[in-house]
Amino acid sequence: MPPKTSSAKKSSTESELPKTKLPKLPTEFILRPSHAGLKNTAAVYVSPQILTITGWSAGNFVKITRGLSDVTLLLQTWKPEEEDLYDLNVILMSPEYLQLTHFLLGERVELKKATSQPPYASEVHVSIQENTDETTIRSKLIDIGLVYENLTTSDFQVTQIVNVDVVTDSFDQLSLQDQRRKKTLRPFLLHHKTTKFEFHTVQQLQPLPAPYSYSKIGGLGKQIETLKRTIDIPLFRPDIFQRFGIDPPRGVLLHGSSGTGKSLLLKSVAFESQGCHVINISGPAIVSKYLGGTEEKLREYFKEAMKYQPAIILIDEIDSLTPSRNSEDVSEVDTRVTATLLMALDSIDGAVVVIGATNRINSIDASLRRPGRFDQEIEIPIPDADSRYDILSTQFAAMRGQHELTDSQIRAIANTTHGYVGADLVSLCRESILKCVSRGITTHQENQKVSFADVEESKSEIQPSAMREIVLEMPKVSWDDIGGQEVLKRKLKEMVQLPLTAANTFRRLGISAPKGLLLYGPPGCSKTLTAKALASESGLNFLAIKGPEVFNKYVGESERKIREIFQKARTSAPSIIFIDEIDALATNRDSEDAGNVSRQVLNSMLNEIDGVEELKGVIIIGATNRPDSIDPALLRPGRLDRHVYVAPPDRHARKQILEKNTVHFNLPNRVLLIEKLSDLTEGFSGSETVLLCQEAGLAAIMENNDCQQVEERHFMTALNDISKNITPEMLEYYAEFGERYRAV
């Protein structure tokens, strides 16, 4: 057997050597700033291993993508000595391009090779500062090589670039694909020594406006100041706390109703904190199917923040990530994630701040809400009239003059949009624009501007978020629909409108607005109809409590329903709570008919009306025809202290009811007949008078299916069939109740 050759031995030895396994290409990369100078502004720096893994070459065009936005840059590798400073999933981008694209430090982006080379520019229009040498700027632009519109440095800003398809001799070796530019973040082009530069001198270069900023948020000035004070000093001046020997605040918790601006504040914090490493944590995004995977991702985020200080960690909807461990629905995974977050917060050392947001603050584990973790809790409230005016002014100012509203009209809209949160007001402005555009299309006038009528029409289509969970169809009843009852109408108007129109006087004199009103009287005398008219005419948020919906077979659920309704009324103030047949919910506790559940419901209602938590801007109206069945504690001063007797309609009121309900009857001798019927209906309630008209009309239709008018004989037939429900004893009963409480 012949001996093996040396080459055979070498081949065998090479096959036995272990092959170095390359790491996988990261699915997403973390943005960090590069400091390579203006000459390399258009370059993005990656680890040399990325080129080995992908087979790409330095100088290739690559595309960095975030969502629907992308930017094309030149691929370069960082220096070997920087290898230990950054991980494989880090890419470095110049501050100029970070500002241009509004990408944030710490954002997760995708890195792909560009499919084609950018076209060349024939002209580049540049705005420069005064007393700036154009030759110097020209050399700087040539060094950059890849130009985007709105690219800004400290000396110049590219205002316009114009494309050309001609390639000079010095670029013949490059393959230029002639294709239309795809939609990217901004137009971008290459330039070369034959590119024409046009310079325009400006006094001061304007930086690119960020998509989110504190200045674009209306109605939250106080909250923004508190937030800035809480995070700016720990991030940018941590030495101040070291000088005093105390730890800086670590966390801020934003809480409030949905749509009030919590998420918008988080986004604005990220863009306002320039130079900070921003980490967005989303509960669903970090949840792993593997045991311990979620906790590991959470620890990695905090390690990254500690590595790249100053850093901000933003956690929106934090209640979904860290539910209360005392809850019956909490799982073992949730418990471990909460414990991991607690340990991570306690391990923070340096310029790192955690900001969480939630609309269910009571669902968060209590251990998070203590000093050293979430030190500061900032409530983002439902905006009041002044805050709504601020939000609307900001929105209309953003329309750039495409509206016709005056300042007083904007103030009027703010005063009538009770319960609207910031998101509702933005939606209101958007709907107004759509109506304006539709009007312009209909009239073939494209230069239409948003009018006050557009906004008023849109208000009926936007339901306030504060009322969405208990939405009611607003009753379309006016004061004119109620015959007579002038005293009752006046008292209701005074009770509702005075606290709103004379709020400063109430405050100056130290007088509290009346809280409650009890309407009592015989059945069918417009008690419920009056409450509907009040809701419709006042424009306030209207909540109705219905007894059958409140009572629940489970212990504590009925009381919880009462608390929820009153809490909703507080957050959407000014509002009206209407309790029809209030005697069913507030039965006298000494009565034999009062059960344990009804007593607990009444106790909850009394606590909500004048308990520890003050009831501001909420008016309670109860209606009943059995006032003596109501517990006396509810009728004392400070609760339902105003008692209004809704009497049967007098002759004048009955005449108004008859006139309104017979307007289409085509009555013969109308005036005389209505006068006669007003006398014949003595002792009728309002509902019985309406029933008389209905029965007369029905009698006419039964006599002739195609009848054109209703005559007197039809009314006489109906009168014989209607029996009066109001008796003298009943009227005496209500008179005694009124005298008793007037004496008290």
Which tens digits make up the pLDDT trace of 610-629?
Answer: 766 677 778 888 888 888 88
Q: Which of 533, 528, 223, 185 is nearest to 355 (CA)?
A: 223
**Residue pair 527/646 in contact by the 8 Å Cβ criterion:** yes
Q: Where are the beta strands (DSSP E) in 583-636?
A: 618-624
pLDDT(547) > 90: no
What's the pLDDT score for residue 120?
84
Which tens digits make up the pLDDT trace of 31-41?
Answer: 999 887 788 88
Give the chain's mean pLDDT: 81
Residue 284 Cα distances to 263, 289, 481, 533, angstroms: 16, 11, 53, 47
What's the pLDDT score for residue 604?
83
Q: What are phi and psi of 32, to 5 degrees?
A: -135, 160
Q: In what order do the strands lie in the sheet with 541-545?
A: 541-545, 575-580, 618-624, 516-520, 642-645
Determine the Cα–Cα distance for residues 292 and 314; give it in Å rounded to an integer: 22
Determine the Cα–Cα distance for residues 145 and 44; give it in Å rounded to an integer: 13
3-state secondary structure of 104: coil
pLDDT(533) > 70: yes
Q: pLDDT class for 30, splitting at 50, 70, 90?
A: very high
479 CB neighbour count, 10 Å cutoff: 15
What's the pLDDT score for residue 143?
81
What's the pLDDT score for residue 303?
92
Q: pLDDT class for 743, splitting at 50, 70, 90?
A: very low
Q: pLDDT class for 44, splitting at 50, 70, 90?
A: very high
383 CB neighbour count, 10 Å cutoff: 25
Which tens digits make up the pLDDT trace of 250-294?
Answer: 889 999 888 888 888 988 988 888 889 999 988 777 877 788 888
**Residue pair 329/372 in contact by the 8 Å Cβ criterion:** no
Q: pLDDT class for 652, splitting at 50, 70, 90?
A: confident
Which tens digits make up the pLDDT trace of 341-351?
Answer: 889 988 888 88
Which carries the bigger pLDDT value, residue 543 or residue 71? Answer: 71
Highest-pLDDT range among 62-71, 477-486, 548-557 = 62-71
Determine the Cα–Cα distance for residues 654 and 649; give it in Å rounded to an integer: 6
Q: pLDDT class for 171, splitting at 50, 70, 90?
A: very low
What's the pLDDT score for residue 175?
33
What's the pLDDT score for residue 19?
54
Which tens digits make up the pLDDT trace of 673-696?
Answer: 888 888 888 888 888 888 888 888
Determine the Cα–Cα distance for residues 97 and 146; give it in Å rounded to an integer: 11
Which tens digits make up the pLDDT trace of 410-441?
Answer: 988 888 887 788 888 999 998 998 888 888 87
Pairing assessment for the beta strands 196-202 and 120-129 based on DSSP bridges: parallel
pLDDT(45) > 90: yes
Dihedral (CA of 345, 346, 350, 353) sign: positive
Determine the Cα–Cα distance for residues 245 and 175; give it in Å rounded to an integer: 63
pLDDT(744) > 50: no
pLDDT(170) > 90: no
Residue 690 Cα distances to 24, 541, 684, angstroms: 81, 29, 10
Ranking 115-119, 262-266, 402-406 by mean pLDDT, the lowest is 115-119
Q: Which two tokens stand for residue 524?
A: 């069918």
What's the pLDDT score for residue 168?
38
pLDDT(573) > 70: yes
Which carries the bigger pLDDT value, residue 173 or residue 464? Answer: 464
Residue found under tokens 């509290």:
512
Residue found under tokens 């009925």:
558
What's the pLDDT score for residue 588?
77
* 310: preceding bond cis by omega (within 30 degrees): yes
Sequence-ordered list of residues with C-beta below 8 angstroms from that of 21, at least 6 positions apart, any chain = none
Long-range contacts of 330-335 (CB under 8 A, 24+ apart): 333/294
Pairing assessment for the beta strands 61-66 and 108-113 based on DSSP bridges: antiparallel
599 CB neighbour count, 10 Å cutoff: 14
What's the pLDDT score for residue 305?
92
Determine the Cα–Cα distance for residues 688 and 724; give it in Å rounded to an integer: 8
Q: Which two tokens stand for residue 437?
A: 């555009």
What's the pLDDT score for residue 172?
35
**Global pTM?**
0.72
What number of residues does the chain have? Answer: 744
